[in-house]
Amino acid sequence: MVTQIKFGTSGWRAVMADEFTFLNVRRAVNGIARYVRSQDASGARVIIGRDPRFLGETFCAMTADILSSYGITPLVIADAAPTPAIAYAVIRENANGAINFTASHNPPEYNGIKFSTLDGAPALPEITRKIEAEIAAFDSGVEAPKSQVGALAKALDPKPAYLTRLTEIVDIKAIKRAGLRVVFDPLWGAARGYSDSILRDSGVEAATIHDYRDVLFGGQAPEPDDHLLDPLRQRMRASNAHIGIATDGDADRFGVVDSDGTFFQPNYIIALLFDYLVESREWKNGVGKSVATTNLINALARHHKVELHETPVGFKYVGELIKQDKIAIGGEESAGLSIRYHVPEKDGVLAGLLCAEMVARRGNSLGRQLRELFAKVGSYYPRRENFRLTPEVKEKFTGKMQSNPEDFFGRKVTEVVRKDGLKLVFEDGSWICYRLSGTEPVVRVYAEARTEEGLEKLSAAAKQWIFE
């Protein structure tokens, strides 16, 4: 039986040698090639990139051969490269898109394909549906026009132009002037030689850990989350560093550790940077966030008199707002953000450098800055949890998701939001959001309250509603 290849919020991902096989990669790439040819019958150019995962070079070479057979010129990146650097290269090279072999922050046994369109943004659902249809047509033997003469592959190095761009939008000199000491953890991923190089080249004292290729990522998922950043904390203590920054496998996600070793969840980082960009750049054109991201951003938008745009989950929707210059910054609680005048794609390298700039120019730790933010607009305590469901519980809960509760364990529901999943907003400003996974029997529960005690009670109620 042929596996159906489905593109989710960040492309197609699967376990290698299970569903992510040479056969399925060929099918996927043929589908993308057919789509590109349907949009540009001659002269098309597509960038091919990868993260450091196993067999990445082999997949890239195979992809170049397939694209060439369609008359599409492959622009091949030899080394592992960050997803945002590839996105910037698409724009700068006026390419028709990019095929990027990466499974982002997923465990090492996974690989995947991200397809970026000619604007450097993640492919929107209407485009991925067309690609899936082209894969099905390829499987059925429906002929697509190929080239009589194969296009010759060309080499591309996205690093110099991307780093130059970062120096234009991040005040690296301010980090140097402040004497900031930074520790960087690329988690063996694609940002090796990016975040640290730009800092060191500007004279910033920057140390790096996990600075070598390991296709197993140290035996863990390359995810810059709290429980995986103890080595970063240790090096920070040894260096007496002011800030620690980390990126995931393809460097589109970020992790930030404060000077005292506290991990700052992405919700707070996005809010702090939003406040900082309004203050330092005087950008007040808008702010974007997913429906599952902290309402601290909503409060800041009101405070700064800035228009708020709330999107479904998936950075592609935030990217559209950046393309239209409707927002100064857009982010998701899952550690993705980008800013005005930059790529419409998550950029973990940018996020870490901006945090360093913010600490340098404000002269305060992240912890103190957050306390000042709470004093200005009130406190917000967000949390995300995943719960596995039995088939029986999932069926029952799926029905519940269609309801419109007016009361939730004694809390009056003031708003029901169905932008993505089910979000219930309560009188005191607290809220919960349920999203069923499309790939596994899991419900993701996002909750936020105005006090830590309130969060504990709300989280318990949110769980009870699933299983009662």
Tally of CB atoms within 10 A around 17: 12
* Residue 253 and residue 175 in one domain: yes
Q: What is the mean pLDDT of the chain?
A: 95
Domain that holds residue 70: 12-157
Is residue 25 within 8 A of residue 19, CB to CB? The reply is: no
In a domain, 167, yes or no: yes
pLDDT of residue 165: 97
Q: Report yes or no on 7 lying in a domain.
A: no
Does a structural domain hold residue 2? no
- Do 462 and 432 touch, CB atoms closer than 8 A? yes
What CATH number is associated with residue 112?
3.40.120.10
- At 120, the pLDDT band (50, 70, 90 cuts) reads very high
Number of domains in the chain: 3
Domain match, 265 and 190 both: yes
pLDDT digits (tens, 9 = 90+) for 283-320: 999 999 999 999 999 999 999 999 999 999 999 999 99
Q: What is the pLDDT of residue 317?
A: 93
- Is there a single domain that holds both residue 226 and residue 174? yes
Q: Are residues 26 and 41 in the same domain?
A: yes
| Percent over 90 (pLDDT), the chain | 91
Within a domain: residue 1? no
119 and 199 co-located in one domain: no
Domain endpoint, select from 377, 402, 432: 377
Count the alpha carbons within 13 Å of 175 in the hemisphere toward its beta carbon: 27
* Residue 457 placed within a domain: yes
Indicate whether 202 and 324 sit together in one domain: yes
| Whole-number percent of the chain with pLDDT over 70 | 99
Residue 212 has pLDDT above 90, yes or no: yes
Q: Where are the alpha helices (DSSP H) in 1-82?
A: 22-39, 56-69
pLDDT at 299: 96
Q: Are residues 176 and 280 in the same domain?
A: yes
pLDDT at 49 over 90: yes
Please tell me whether residues 354 and 425 are part of one structural domain: no
- Quote the pLDDT of residue 144: 74
**What is the distance, to the nearest Å, from the Cα of residue 448 to the centroid of all Cα atoms in its chain?**
21
pLDDT (average), residues 189-216:
97
Q: Which two tokens stand for residue 194?
A: 């990016």
Do 268 and 180 have their domain in common?
Answer: yes
6 within some domain: no
Give yes or no: residues 148 and 184 share one domain.
Answer: no
- 445: phi then psi, degrees, rounded to nearest 5: -120, 120
- Do 136 and 234 sit in the same domain of this protein? no
**Same domain, yes or no: 327 and 420:** no
**pLDDT classification of 127: cutoffs 50, 70, 90:** very high
Label residue 468 by pLDDT band (50, 70, 90): confident
Question: What one-character-per-residue DSSP string does 344-378 give?
Answer: SS--HHHHHHHHHHHHHHH-S-HHHHHHHHHHHH-
254 near 266, Cβ under 8 Å?
yes
Q: State the pLDDT at residue 148.
A: 65
- How far is residue 86's CA from residue 30's CA, in Å, rounded to a whole number? 21
In a domain, 263, yes or no: yes
Which of these three, 133, 157, 181, is where a domain ends?
Answer: 157
**pLDDT on residue 146:** 72
Tell me if 3 is assigned to some domain.
no
Q: Look at residue 214 and tell me whether its pLDDT is greater than 70.
A: yes
**Whether the Cβ atoms of residue 196 and residue 210 lie closer than 8 Å to each other:** no
**What's the pLDDT score for residue 1?**
55
Reported as a single tens digit per residue, the pLDDT across 220-274 is 999 999 999 999 999 999 999 999 999 999 999 999 999 999 999 999 999 999 9
241 three-class SS: coil
